[in-house]
Structure formats: structure tokens, C-alpha cells
Structure 1
């Protein structure tokens, strides 16, 4: 009787292996509550030995935090082609890009980005991601102020981010909006937010 063969794992570069593990974990944490996901589940979904997860990422908690960071961090604008031109054209391109990021992550993004019931570590990751997303939206729309200070605009776009999350939920979870409707809605709101932020920045300080 032949001896049972041992599993053979595909040899990948460390970054590729880490990405493979994260992708599997994101799917699982998106489908199940944290308590119902085990490291064995992640290993099986990723097709790796359980020890590799500890080697590349760490504990289950470390893995979850990495998944949260991966889901809510908007990629650099240098990685995509965005339109130039008017504020409206730039806003439309920026929203199209943001909605594409959301669609790629699906309901897992909605679940994590909502921030409901999160602890301090997760809240910090969400805050950092909101700040980064606001800066990247301002960069994508080429927003500048005569004072060279974008604090008001950053705060305004962070507030806009709350609507992005709500619209994502209406689209992906509740099914009350289509993707096209979400893009139209968010584009119009972003144009207004940028215009108002510029007016606030230009107003004399009191």
C-alpha cells in the first residue's frame, strides 16, 4: 500500500504568500463574525500550512487587524489613471475610482468601514484610513487653497466619507441603489463639498 503523500505547497515569494493569506482571511471575516473564524479555516482557505500564517502575519488578532487595514485603505492615486480638467470631471473620476475600490471588496468593506462596535485599535486604523482617503481625494481632484492649508477641506472630505460608507451600504447590502446611481449621487455631493470647503477656506477668520 503506497504511503500517503504529504501536501505540496506552491512556492511563492513572501509578499505573494502574505497577500494570498490576507485575501483568504478577508473573505472569511467578511462572511462570518470574528469569533467564528479560526486560523485553521484561514489556512484551509488560503491553501497553506497554519504555521505560515503565524510566520507571515502573527496571531489571529494580528491577522484581523491587517484585514481591516487592507479593506479600508484607499490605494495611491498614482496606481490609477484619473481624468484632468474641471472640478466636476475630476470629481467624477475620483468617485468612479472610489466606487471601484468598494466594489472590489464588497460587503466585507461595508461591514468593516461602518465602524460599528469596534475597539480602540480598529478605530485608530479607521481614523487613519479616513485621513488618508481624504488626502488622496483632494490630490485626485487637484484641490488647492490660497492659504496652502487643507485642514478645512480635509475635514469636509472626511465628512463626505461618511456618506460614501452609507451609500455603499445602500448599494451592496440593502440593494436600494445601483452602482450608477451611487456614482451620480456621490459625484454631485463631492463637487458641492469641495466648493463649500473652498468658500470656508476663503472666508475671513473670526
Structure 2
């Protein structure tokens, strides 16, 4: 499982130096046996595994929490809000979420709010069927090429190939013409190159 804490970090609601993130669900007695997530590379995306706790066909429910607390000010979807749900399949799957479903802002911001560096974020939702959203940040105007590849390395979609102003962007992706499977999306913006993996489940 992965959860992106970037929005809560930027808003001052989460401090990576002092706060921690865990996942609580029906597979660990809703946090009775904590599963702490780790951000080993400092990109504000926290990850962990629940191997051995769930099995194919299981219908799981879960939420992410800050500091293992159900405090309404910090836990996801407070005051009895909906749980996240997923039916476990036969393949290993990475479930990616933005904390509390708070996505990065999109469009062009004022100079004081422009991104400080290039970034390519994990698509959301992931896995998806058949639509998802890819977000990326440009600290300056750049020639952007955003493409999707299959596991054979074949380019299957071109999402952007144009000059774009500085800002944070969200690109809607409709993969209804693609088959189920794992794909990679890649961004090249001037000298910046990065890619991430996404899973289409139909």
C-alpha cells in the first residue's frame, strides 16, 4: 500500500520529521496490530505491505491514520466517514492513495505558489478502470512529453507533447482502449526524466 502525504505536508498538517503513518483495516483489527508505513526515499509517499494478512477473494476495508490516532483532526474521512474498500485478486497489487483523497492543486499558480522542482506523482486511483489522473509539477516553462508504455516497452499512448507553463497539472487518462495489465508512464520535461508504474484492472 502507498499513501501520498504531500498535500498534508504542504498544508502543515503533517510533519515528516515528527509524524508517522499507519494503515488500519479489517485485516489488522483496525490498527490493533499496527502496520506502519515508511518513506525511505523522502518523497512523501509512504508505503508498506500486508502480505500474509489478506488472501484472494477477501473484501478488505481500511483507512490511513497519522500517529496511529483516530482523532477527527488527523485521520482519514473523520466522524465515521466511508472506509476504503478493495477486493483482493490473484496478483500482487499496489494500492495508491492520496491521504484523505486530497489531491495536489492543478493549473497555473502565482509566482509564490509555483512548484520548486520537477515532480511526477503516482496516478490516482491506482489500480484503475478505465480512467485515472496523472499529476506533475513544472517549476518553469518546459517542453513536456508525457507518454505511456506497456511492459514490452512499446509506446501505447501520448498524453502530452507540447510547451507548458510553470505550474502543477492533472491529466485525465482514459485507458478504455487498452487491455488489463501493468503500464509505465514517463515524463520528459527539458532535462527532467521520470517514470512510474500503474495498473489497469478491467
Larger helix fraction of residues = 1
Scaled by the length of structure 2, the TM-score of the pair is: 0.29
Which structure's relative contact order is higher, taking Cα pairs within 8 Å and 6+ residues apart?
A: 1
Give the alignment's TM-score, normalised by structure 1: 0.29
Q: Which has the higher strand share?
A: 2
Structure with larger Rg = 1
